[in-house]
Amino acid sequence: MSGKRDILITEVALRDGSHAINHQFTVEQVVSVARALDEANVPFIEVSHGDGLAGSSLQYGLSRTNEMELIEAAVSVCKQATVGVLLLPGIGTIKDLNAAVKLGVGMARIATHVTEADISAQHIARSKELGLFTVGFLMMSHMAPPEKLVEQAKLMESYGADAVYVVDSAGALLPHEVAERIRALKQSIGVEIGFHAHNNLSLAMANTLAAIQEGATRIDGSVRCLGAGAGNTQTEVLVAVLERMGIETGIDLYKMMDLAEEIVAPILQVPQEITRDSLVLGYAGVYSSFRLHAERAAKKFGIDSRDILIELGKRKAVGGQEDMIIDVAAEILKQRSAAGLR
């Protein structure tokens, strides 16, 4: 299937989904998923560690397979799809980006906290020099009002970004909050606008539709909800909904359904659903990739993971502060022990 596309979908299961399976993707899994996505005519496929290029570490989680092998594998089976990567300045470097380009990637998404776009200047500029479609990715967008989001998006646009995304990393935004942010960007910048949702409050689809209605033309999805927290907007469901609305994605719905059922479902360690902890992520406004880290810390210290996540929300923890999870868990245990509680 080819032709007109009103909305360009980027499939993030092979990057965001890495969080959900503890970064344990194999080359064989990436090949099978990427090939099926390509055959379904998905235009963009993101592949890298969950925390972007060079994310494999003790702090963020060690990858089972070197991400460059995974990227190379995905590129090798994609005949029409563009393979992209995520890069967080301070984790990934320009050297990592250069290496990914040599493997054949065609898109780079440069991600910063919503108030820190200024650290992306050299990475966006280098991505453009390399001829990549370059996206500014403003994470944890619920933590900034629309006017601040506009200010940061303008910076990314000035550095050369071809598109800027509102990224609901915590799955904390409500539909009217998404709408006002996309509307503000639409009125203020001249590049394409994208939206990346998480389903922690069961609002990924509603938020995505609100974004589209306000002018977002680039949308992220994860097949079978394979993403951090409760997953992202479910790609095969999104394609079906948009077809019902008369909005063209160019993606083969049946092939996406088959991919979800036959290839991705067996990869999931547990079905993606809104659990206690993923619900708390959205409720407290905590980075979606913190869920498994918090669950492990809770088990280690014998406390409730929800208490850890709520406290992280109070402290306004952001991506890159995973080390804070252990500190918070230890403090909670210490406080309870002092009070004679467990």
**201 CB burial (10 A radius; 0-12, 13-18, 19+):** buried
- Any idea which of 143-147, 310-314, 334-338 has the lowest mean pLDDT? 334-338
Distance (Å, whole) CA 107 – CA 218:
13
pLDDT over 90 (residue 178): yes
Beta bridge partners of 326: none
DSSP secondary structure letter of residue 225: G
Over residues 58-71, mean pLDDT: 81
How many CB atoms lie under 10 A from the CB of residue 204? 31
**With bands split at pLDDT 50, 70 and 90, how would you rate the model's confidence at 55?**
confident
Over residues 71-81, mean pLDDT: 98
pLDDT over 50 (residue 132): yes
pLDDT for 341: 64
Q: What percent of the chain has pLDDT over 70?
A: 97
pLDDT over 80 (residue 295): yes
Q: Tell whether residue 287 is among the known ligand binding residues.
A: yes
Residue of 15, 31, 61 whose CA lies nearest to 196? 15
Supply 336's token pair. Answer: 């309870």
Over residues 256-285, mean pLDDT: 94
**With bands split at pLDDT 50, 70 and 90, how would you rate the model's confidence at 1?**
very low
**With bands split at pLDDT 50, 70 and 90, how would you rate the model's confidence at 202?**
very high
pLDDT for 288: 87
Write down the catalytic residue from 19, 23, 49, 142.
19
Domains and CATH numbers, the chain: 8-264 (3.20.20.70), 289-338 (1.10.8.60)
pLDDT over 60 (residue 342): no
Distance (Å, whole) CA 49 – CA 179:
30
- For residue 243, what are the CA distances in angstroms to 1, 22, 209, 293? 14, 33, 13, 37
pLDDT over 80 (residue 190): yes
pLDDT for 151: 98
Over residues 189-213, mean pLDDT: 98
Over residues 297-307, mean pLDDT: 93
pLDDT for 3: 63
pLDDT for 60: 63
> What is the C-alpha radius of gyration for the chain, rounded to an integer number of angstroms?
19
pTM over 0.75? The answer is yes
Over residues 332-337, mean pLDDT: 88
Distance (Å, whole) CA 131 – CA 228:
30
Contact between 141 and 173 under an 8 Å Cβ cutoff? The reply is yes
**3-state SS class at 227:** coil
**With bands split at pLDDT 50, 70 and 90, how would you rate the model's confidence at 2?**
very low
pLDDT over 90 (residue 113): yes
**With bands split at pLDDT 50, 70 and 90, how would you rate the model's confidence at 58?**
low
Q: Tell whether residue 16 is among the known ligand binding residues.
A: yes
Q: Tell whether residue 183 is among the known ligand binding residues.
A: no
pLDDT for 50: 86
pLDDT for 106: 98
- Mean pLDDT, all residues of the chain: 94
Distance (Å, whole) CA 56 – CA 315:
25
Could you tell me the sign of the dihedral formed by the alpha carbons of 288, 20, 269, 206, in that order? positive
pLDDT over 70 (residue 217): yes
For the question of residue 113 being annotated catalytic, the response is: no
